[in-house]
Structure 1
């Protein structure tokens, strides 16, 4: 049975895919397929394998929307515990390499942390 955080992460990934379609006209078809097959956490772990970022990550970078990337969500304090250290390192590395201010993103996110997260961390 998935934890509350796993369910929330999956939902955030689904909603993120919908936002990408609506806000930048990008339809992450393969990612949505991965969500259906592996769930949110499984899809994120798959995308964080190896050193290369996905085409979707590149599309988000080009659109200046890395805050909607799997890499950004993985680093959120209320989801970090769902991933191993190497996943977190990969996510931070990819974002930093693309000049995304990870620390600023996390500070801002912490100010708006979801109520449910205080129970699950």
Structure 2
């Protein structure tokens, strides 16, 4: 795991902690997936799932799209971890559900 991937993993853990602290949302399945697979693999699995996750819906309904995996995929600091297709998928999902 390179430094960027470690930072991304930490960002995925931070999503969980912030949602729990600020929104009282315990995203237990999300943090378990991140713990089991790592932040990058978990993000790609969620990103390419045909189903929108309950967590994404919760964050959207509470005006916190900034805490979504999709928003983190689009951050410049993590660009090397994702393909153009990954970023298009993330942007498309955010645009569709705004």
- Fold match (TM-score > 0.5): yes
Please, what is the CA RMSD of the aligned residues? Answer: 1.0
The CA deviation at 1:89 is 1.1
TM-score (norm 2): 0.94
Moved over 2 A (4+): none
* 2:45 corresponding residue in structure 1: 46
The CA deviation at 1:52 is 2.8
Q: Which has the larger radius of gyration?
A: 1
Q: Which has the higher helix share?
A: 2
TM-score (norm 1): 0.77
* 2:21 corresponding residue in structure 1: 22
The CA deviation at 1:9 is 0.5
The CA deviation at 1:37 is 1.0
Deviations 1:3-38 (A, max 9, x none): 111000101110110110010010110110111111
